[in-house]
Amino acid sequence: MTTPRDLLIVTMDAEPSPPVEEGDLSLALAGAEVVDLLATGAVTLDGDRLVPGPGAPTGDRLLDLAASLLVAEAPYESVEDWLWRRGRDLSSAYRDDLREAGQTTMERPRRRPWATGRPVLADSPAREEAVGRWRSGEPVLVALASAAGVPAGPEARTAGVDDDAVATVLAAVNDAVEELQTVRQRRSIEKAAFDNIWRA
């Protein structure tokens, strides 16, 4: 399994309250892809710029797609710009991929069996691996899940990330999520003000 899939499994398994926002998760998934591509040599960082490398195909369809979408010419693309471009609806792509791989099932409401259910994780080695990685406090996964909106439990270690490139990516993910949350808050305030005008 890959870091993006482990991240998605963790967010589905944890079922945090309030639920994870799809936009936040998509940004974190895009960051998780960069983390894995850094590990394979498919990309390196020059400052905050993503420079495609000679890394071999990962064998993972979505990661290989991500590598193929990297900007191939200088001045290349910043991590932040990548997160916003690649992150668009990325959570849906990874959910579909889990479903197609048989990693999720549809849960039917007991009292309304005719109603459309929601996807839930199937018991599988992939789920055990992702949850084990999360519970062990693996710093990168904990940081990404936290950015997406899953609070780390007391069993999670708070160790930092030693790799400067990975730390740069994680910082960019946090900044992007904060920016998205600010946009949501502003829209909520504007909507409330508009509604108040009509009520007046």
Residue 157 is which amino acid?
R
- The answer to whether 173 touches 149, Cβ cutoff 8 Å, is no
pLDDT in tens, 10-58: 998 888 778 899 999 999 999 999 999 999 999 999 999 999 998 778 8
Q: CA 24, CA 176: separation in Å to the nearest integer?
A: 8
Query: What is the pTM for the complete model shown?
Result: 0.85
Contacts of 31 (CB under 8 A, 6+ apart): 79, 83, 144, 147, 169, 170, 172, 173
Secondary structure (DSSP) of 111-163? S-TTS--EEEEPP-HHHHHHHHHHHTT-HHHHHHHHHHT-PPPTTS-------
Residue 142 is which amino acid?
V
State both tokens at 66: 């991500």
Distances (CA, A) of 190 to 181, 196, 199: 14, 10, 14
User: Does 21 or 157 have the greater pLDDT score?
Assistant: 21
Q: Would the pLDDT of 101 be above 70?
A: yes
pLDDT in tens, 113-137: 555 567 777 778 888 899 899 988 8
pLDDT in tens, 64-84: 999 999 999 999 999 999 999
Give the pLDDT band (50/70/90) at residue 158. very low
State both tokens at 165: 């490139």
Average pLDDT, the chain: 86
Other C-beta atoms closer than 10 Å to the C-beta of 137 total 16
Query: Any long-range contacts for 114-120 (C-beta under 8 Å, 24+ apart)?
Result: 119/12, 119/95, 120/12
Other C-beta atoms closer than 10 Å to the C-beta of 41 total 11
- The answer to whether 24 touches 181, Cβ cutoff 8 Å, is yes
